[in-house]
Amino acid sequence: MHDLVDWGRGRLCNDTAVPSPATALLVFWTVAFSTLIFGHYHIASRLNLAYKALTVLVCLLAPLTPGLMSLLTKPAVLYLLLFELVLIVGCLTGYTGSPSDLIRVSSQPVVMFRVLPFMLCGYTLAVYPRSERWFIGLLVALFAAITFPDALVLLEGTASGKLRERFLIEAYDQASAQALTSAMVNVSVTGLLLALAACRLYDSRQKLLRWLIAAPQALLLSLSITAGFTAAAVLFMWCGLTSILFAPARTLRYRLTLLLIIAIVLPGAFFALQIAAGETGGSLAKIYHRVDGLRQLIAGQEVKNSNEVTSGRFELAMHSLSSFARSPLIGLGKGRQGSEQGGDTDTIGGHSFLLDSLGQRGLLGTLPLIMWLWSLASISWRCLSRERSWRASAGLSFVLTLVVAITINPYFLGYLALNSVIFLWFGFVLGDGTRVAKAHASASGRRLVMPPPLRAAG
């Protein structure tokens, strides 16, 4: 396998210097794109056989795709593969799973194997900015278009002041309403991450592209609020804050403008949510009371019912942390089902991937995951410090949002369509790191060989 710099047999400085991608990459990107689209809950439920075939095909194509060996040498990927080994050993020994989990398509070690090709997809796309723009633009537009009918129902129902379950049952039958509610737990976060990925298109010199992508971005972002899930709403606000903080500011005026936006827009958005909740009630009121309760908890104020505010997350988190405290090195394992403390088992709360991992696997088993997240954050920060671009700032926002996401919910290695997008983002971050490092090294080399300035005679 050729290294990243050899894929197109050309320089990797800008759009005009990057050569056309190899045919093998185009085929792989097409299959990966199709798998992401077919993974949408509307299509996957109707064309499940085609979706299953695509998920197998994309895994079979990955070893034949240029760039795989380059990707596997990255420290962040090695940490991730080490965590996969921890998952496999835990299943084989029966400590955190069972041997049968290794042939169950929805188990964590199998899900990780199924979504690894999307990391390769993002990694290779990041080297070809033009191809990446087409990929992200079409993916965001099509995903938003397929989601639009349900997004419209969610928006109308939330605006009417009814609770989510009620207006969904009125719009659909009860079985469809329950299916959509279950899907939206993860789709709302998927939409948020795809909308954030669309920010990578802002580096384009074509201003029209920014306007064209704004509509599907807004629709996908709306799911975080209208779906009625507090975790998605919190991630939406956190993602918005980090996006503003790390936007590619270039001038002092720009930075002051960003500070003004933070000082005005964020409190304004909170008060707007308060007013909307008071006017409509329903799902918006539910989200507002929980977000306001979280604000009071953070501020150290007394909250009447913290368990209701956090949906029991604090108690479930303490359940996992208690297991970690009792066995900090290797955790207490999977435990028994039917926990009297309300968790998934008698060792974990089941509502935080990161804390549950500490409770089950301890520090030794979770350390690869922590090191992997740290490595991604370091790469993202390095990219932003060297390249003030929307791609770099969106990458850092993604990593920080993911850390919060897997701390407050078990989003990681669960829902396949969500994790396909998550791993696609991992690839973008790693690809940005390689591209920016090569550009920085090339620029440093040019400065070193630059001749000294001529002096005037006499």
Task: Tell me the per-residue pLDDT of 406-416, one tens digit each, with 9 for 90 and over.
Answer: 998 888 988 88
pLDDT for 313 equals: 67
Chain centroid to CA 73: 22
Range with lowest mean pLDDT among 4-13, 21-30, 75-84, 428-437: 4-13
The verdict on residue 452 lying in a domain is: no
Range with lowest mean pLDDT among 9-13, 178-182, 259-263: 9-13
Range with lowest mean pLDDT among 31-40, 201-210, 363-372: 201-210
Q: Give the structural domain span for 8.
A: 4-443
pLDDT for 192 equals: 94
User: Is it the case that residue 273 has pLDDT exceeding 80?
Assistant: no
Q: Closest Cα partner for 187 from 148, 159, 158, 160?
A: 148
pTM: 0.84
Q: How confident is the model at residue 234 (pLDDT cuts 50, 70, 90)?
A: confident
What is the share, in percent, of the chain residues with pLDDT greater than 70? Answer: 77
The verdict on residue 456 lying in a domain is: no
Q: How confident is the model at residue 332 (pLDDT cuts 50, 70, 90)?
A: confident
What is the share, in percent, of the chain residues with pLDDT greater than 90? Answer: 41
Range with lowest mean pLDDT among 88-97, 270-279, 345-354, 376-385: 270-279
Q: Closest Cα partner for 217 from 130, 149, 141, 151?
A: 141
The verdict on residue 458 lying in a domain is: no
pLDDT for 245 equals: 82
Range with lowest mean pLDDT among 34-43, 152-161, 419-428: 152-161
The verdict on residue 245 lying in a domain is: yes
The verdict on residue 22 lying in a domain is: yes
pLDDT for 227 equals: 81
Rounded Cα distance, 28 and 54, in Å: 11
Q: How confident is the model at residue 272 (pLDDT cuts 50, 70, 90)?
A: low
Range with lowest mean pLDDT among 46-60, 180-194, 201-215, 306-320: 306-320
pLDDT for 335 equals: 76
Rounded Cα distance, 96 and 87, in Å: 8
Mean pLDDT of 213-220: 91
User: Is it the case that residue 5 has pLDDT exceeding 50?
Assistant: no
What phi, psi does 345 have (nearest 5°)? -140, -175
User: Is it the case that residue 262 has pLDDT exceeding 70?
Assistant: no
pLDDT for 86 equals: 94
Range with lowest mean pLDDT among 48-57, 153-162, 311-320, 340-349: 340-349
pLDDT for 339 equals: 52
Q: How confident is the model at residue 195 (pLDDT cuts 50, 70, 90)?
A: very high
Strand partners, 337: 345
Give me 46's structure tokens. Answer: 């109707």
Q: How confident is the model at residue 17 (pLDDT cuts 50, 70, 90)?
A: low
DSSP state of 324: H
The verdict on residue 448 lying in a domain is: no
The verdict on residue 299 lying in a domain is: yes
Rounded Cα distance, 90 and 334, in Å: 9
pLDDT for 258 equals: 67
Rounded Cα distance, 68 and 116, in Å: 11
Collapse the DSSP code of 54 into the 3-class scheme (helix H, G, I; strand E, B; otherwise coil) and give the result.
Answer: helix
The verdict on residue 453 lying in a domain is: no
pLDDT in tens, 108-141: 999 999 999 999 999 999 989 889 999 999 999 9
Q: How many residues belong to the chain?
A: 458
Q: How confident is the model at residue 35 (pLDDT cuts 50, 70, 90)?
A: very high
Measured torsion, CA atoms of residues 12, 375, 397, 321, in degrees rounded to the nearest 10: 160
User: Is it the case that residue 255 has pLDDT exceeding 90?
Assistant: no
Q: How confident is the model at residue 250 (pLDDT cuts 50, 70, 90)?
A: low
The number of beta carbons lying within 10 Å of the beta carbon of residue 355 is 26
Structural domain count, the chain:
1
